[in-house]
Amino acid sequence: MTQAVSILTPVYNVSNFIERCAHSLFQQTFENIEYVFVNDCTPDDSIEKLKKVIEQYPNRKNFVKIINHEKNKGPCAARNTAIDNSSGKYIQYIDSDDWIEPDMIEKMYNKAETEQADIVVCDFILEKINTKSICRAFVPQNQKEYFSCMLENEKSYASLCNKFIRKKFFELSDCRSSEELNISEDWYISLQLYYYAKKIVKIDKAFYHYEKTNINSLTSSKTIIHYENKKQFYELLGKFLKEKGLYEKYFDIVEKSKVLSKTDLFIKTKDYKLRKKYANLYRDIELKYLKFLQLGEKTVIILTHFKFYFLAHLAIKFIHWKNRKHIT
């Protein structure tokens, strides 16, 4: 039996989170749901815990699939496997360390059907240690602004998890994850979805809880993988823009974005040698876009640009100290 909605969830190293996630999925007020979990060769007991939760929901059990990878392939490959094994009219990604409100799928589905929307967007909650904050996503009213707004990625939020999407878009080769791009993959796919979508609507409610305390998450610390994936992201984006005849139109936005991304990586990287290794990344354009950076960020980029690496390192340590002081 084909279900109306497929919830897709890769599973890897989430023993401390999978039960909470699974309960939130099976407790949905919407009944017509198919669940596709992809075991990406998780080294812990995540799958065992998931199966125990499944047994507590006999009415959901027959609509659950667990697909096992023979080897670890990464989150993008896991998502593609989930897509290949889904049958729903709509797709909802849920990361296995996150959780959702009980009425999320019902409200997103009804909104999509009522307004005949290709994508429904909701707000989400960042769950940090002892604090939480609501992130308000923005959707332009004009279809012509969908793509540019997502490209700038300042108000739209690139995450796929707060987006309820018609599956037909994933039948396009453009809208499949690049299996080598495991960081920034949400942004890359969202850009393509926003390019093709005819109608995107918004529900002004935070249904999705985004877990920020998982130290095993790929986004929890910055490594060489982040730098290499970011380079690959902009290569893929450039190729996509050229294929669609949009390269010149969005050239300046992309160049600015490269500098902002490099700056963000530098500020969040603890490894002094890693920053030095990638100091030449977008060096030829970074001074042009200094006006878009905050004072501390400008200082770091300028010092790095002129090879004062140790001073840049001290500046970053000061920024981190100032941020911690502001929080406390």
Are residue 297 and residue 231 in the same domain, yes or no? yes
Over residues 98-134, the pLDDT tens digits come to 999 999 999 999 999 999 999 999 999 999 888 889 9
Q: Tokens at residue 85, please?
A: 């094994």
If you average pLDDT over residues 223-245, what whole number do you get? 93
If you average pLDDT over residues 274-285, what whole number do you get? 95
Residue of 247, 309, 244, 233 whose CA lies nearest to 274: 309
Are residue 302 and residue 190 in the same domain, yes or no? no
If you average pLDDT over residues 137-158, what whole number do you get? 92
327: confidence class by pLDDT, cuts 50, 70, 90: very low
Structural domain of 285: 224-327
Residue 217 lies inside a defined structural domain of this protein? no
Phi, psi of 197 (to 5 degrees): -65, 140
Instruction: Give 213 or 111, the one with higher predicted confidence.
Output: 111
- Does the pLDDT of residue 306 top 60, yes or no? yes
Over residues 48-99, the pLDDT tens digits come to 999 999 999 999 999 999 999 999 998 888 999 999 999 999 999 999 999 9
Percent of the chain exceeding pLDDT 70 equals 94
Strand, coil or helix: 244 = coil
Q: Tokens at residue 63, please?
A: 């609509």
Question: In total, how many domains does the chain have?
Answer: 2
Residue of 44, 90, 38, 94 whose CA lies nearest to 69: 38
Residue 261 lies inside a defined structural domain of this protein? yes
The residue from 157, 186, 211 where one domain ends is 211
- Does the pLDDT of residue 178 top 90, yes or no? no
Residue of 52, 50, 67, 57 whose CA lies nearest to 13: 50
The residue from 211, 245, 277 where one domain ends is 211
Residue 150 lies inside a defined structural domain of this protein? yes
Most distant CA atoms of the chain, gap in Å: 63
Residue 116: CB partners within 8 Å, gap ≥ 6? Answer: 199
For all residues of the chain together, what is the average pLDDT?
A: 92
| Amino acid, single-letter form, for residue 234 | Y
Residue 218 lies inside a defined structural domain of this protein? no
- Does the pLDDT of residue 154 top 90, yes or no? no
The residue from 166, 182, 211 where one domain ends is 211
CA 179 vs. chain centroid, Å, equals: 14
Are residue 19 and residue 165 in the same domain, yes or no? yes
Are residue 168 and residue 243 in the same domain, yes or no? no
For residue 58, give the CATH number of its domain: 3.90.550.10
Are residue 273 and residue 153 in the same domain, yes or no? no
222: confidence class by pLDDT, cuts 50, 70, 90: confident
Phi, psi of 296 (to 5 degrees): -60, -40
Q: Tokens at residue 284, please?
A: 């030829």
Counting every residue, how long is the chain?
A: 328
For 157: left if phi > 0, alpha if psi spans -120 to 50, otherwise beta; the answer is: left
Phi, psi of 278 (to 5 degrees): -105, 20
Q: What angle do CA 268, 43, 66 make, to 5 degrees?
A: 105
